[in-house]
Amino acid sequence: MSDTDTDGGARVFATPPGVKLGALDQIADGTARNYVLQLRAGRFHGFVVRQGAAVYGYVDRCPHAGLPLAQELDAYLTPDGARVMCSWHGAVFAIDDGRCEGGPCMGARLTPWPVRVDDGVIVTDA
């Protein structure tokens, strides 16, 4: 599945397993970080939320309007850090499963981006 990215290139919505994204400690506990990967098929936009030793990855695309969730770099969470939030229309999503808990896309889910921590490094998963 792909669309056109803002620079005219193809945008893809999945990554292969085994891509090393960086050390877990590059994301402060209770925050999120944006990742853009240039793949052969096109550019992937995703983000990872860290909660202690756990990480949750999602494609950076709101199910309501198809826009990236954050208007500012790495600003994916509500002010209290309890949920993922779309800064365009205020939809809020559970961090652990991406389910919309409020806003214009109730019941929809963020597209998961499988990631794991392997020896202190965040890696894409199958």
Rounded Cα distance, 97 and 18, in Å: 22
Residue 2 lies inside a defined structural domain of this protein = no
Determine, yes or no, domain membership for 77.
yes
pLDDT of 9: 72
**Domain CATH number, residue 64:** 2.102.10.10
- Percent share of the chain, pLDDT over 90: 90
Mode of pairing for the β-strands spanning 10-12 and 42-51: parallel
Share of the chain above pLDDT 70, in %: 94
Q: What is the pLDDT of residue 7?
A: 56
Would you say 35 and 21 are in contact if contact means Cβ atoms under 8 Å apart?
A: yes
Structurally, the chain folds into a number of domains equal to 1
Domain assignment of residue 54, yes or no: yes
Give the pLDDT of residue 3. Answer: 59
Q: 3-class DSSP state for residue 25? A: helix
Assigned domain for 58 exists? yes
The answer to whether position 7 is within a domain reads no
Q: Whole domain around residue 99: which residue ranges?
A: 19-117
The three-class DSSP label of residue 91 is coil
CA distance 49 to 56: 5
pLDDT tens sequence across 57-71: 999 999 998 999 999
